[in-house]
Amino acid sequence: MVPSEPSARRAAALHAAFPGTFDPVTLGHLDILERARRLFERITVMVASHHDKQQLFPLAERVELLERVTRGMDDVRVVALEGLLVQGCLDHGAGAIVRGIRSAGDLEYERQMALTNRALAPEVETVFLVPAAEHVHVSSTLVRQIARMGGDCSRFVPAAVEERLRERFPR
């Protein structure tokens, strides 16, 4: 008979973090979130600021938008991430990090980050998910470019985000 795992480790294995800048949140992000919800009992969406990127929406607004588009998902919580991702995982009790992979370039970048995160917190595992074909080309950068140039982003973002983009960039 194999001894059972400690309950804290088991609970952490059922809880994943889904980090990103989400500037703005796209249908591709929501596709990855839905796939992660099938694998984990709880998901904490961790909204980060990236020191090398100039964000379109401030952190508080990105958190608010994610809270709006995940309303009704009782197994999803949205928080602002301050500091290192693995520390956020440990602070919130998440035993896994969910990352979306759209291309070979994403895979190489995410592989390096996963190895670094494993070195910092070996108890936190990284899981890669591939979005549905209709979302694989969508990125927040692309959405921001389309919005700035007056284009229609409705096929790429939730309605609440499209509304906010139209407020920010009237046509």
User: Is 118 tagged catalytic?
Assistant: no
- Helix/strand/coil for 67: helix
Say if CB 111 and CB 36 are below 8 A apart. no
- Indicate which residue of 62, 135, 140, 164 is catalytic: 140
69: CB partners within 8 A, 6+ apart = 25, 30, 158, 160, 161
Please identify which of the residues 9, 10, 50, 53 carries the catalytic annotation. 53
Cα separation, 159 vs 153, whole angstroms: 9
Is residue 102 annotated as a catalytic residue, yes or no?
A: yes
> Is 7 an active-site residue?
no
Contact present, 117 and 90 (Cβ < 8 Å): no
Q: Is 139 designated active site?
A: no
In the block, which residue shows the tokens 């290192």? 84
CA dihedral sign of residues 132, 48, 80, 149: negative
Catalytic position from the list 68, 102, 111, 166: 102
Q: Which residues does the annotation mark as catalytic?
A: 29, 53, 102, 140
